[in-house]
Amino acid sequence: MSAAQEIVVGVVILLGIVGGTTQLVPGGLIVLGAILVWTLMTGGALAWLVLAFAVVAIVGSGVVKYVFAGRHMNRAEVPASTLVVGMVAGVVGFFVIPVVGLFVGFVGGIYVCELSRRRDHALAWTATRAALAATGLTILVELAGSLVAGGTWLLAVVLG
């Protein structure tokens, strides 16, 4: 694989890592896809080993993020439907208020949903904070998996 092609793969991995932190794109899958393309174009035992390690990192982070976030949400008694409402409100907010609308819409959607469900400001705000903490946790876990996969690829490119 040429240096230019490896740079393109590296840029796609970087975009996957950055995109995954916004939760608008499946960052881990983008990173894994870029590493798969690199593996197929490069070939060899090292490339396949890197791909296997990347699959374990991405799939492992995916499992961990759903288990941890689910436990966190269950402890706070926040249903998954609240997060769905928050995501929809976040997408709407993204188009209504450029740049910050995603965050404002997400938080506002969760709060309004929980306020209508619990009928108490303090309980709704506590549930909103729990949902935000769970979302932050999922972002960090996915970021860690993507960084491990991308770092493994980078190490293989530099040393290989």
- For the segment 113-142, what is each residue's pLDDT rounded down to a tens digit? 999 999 999 999 999 999 888 889 989 999
Residues across the chain? 160
Question: Which amino acid is present at 87?
Answer: M
Q: Which of 22, 27, 28, 49 is nearest to 38 (CA)?
A: 49
Tokens representing 160 are 């290989």
pLDDT digits (tens, 9 = 90+) for 65-78: 889 888 888 888 88
Q: Is the pLDDT of residue 52 over 90?
A: yes
Q: Name the residue with tokens 């499992």.
A: 63
Q: How far apart are CA 46 and CA 82, in angstroms?
A: 44
Helix spans in 43-120 (H): 45-75, 80-96, 101-118
pLDDT digits (tens, 9 = 90+) for 25-48: 889 999 999 999 999 999 999 999
* Chain mean position to CA 151: 17
Question: Which amino acid is present at 3?
Answer: A
CA distances from 139 to 6, 25, 62, 135 (A): 26, 12, 10, 6
Tokens representing 142 are 């996915």
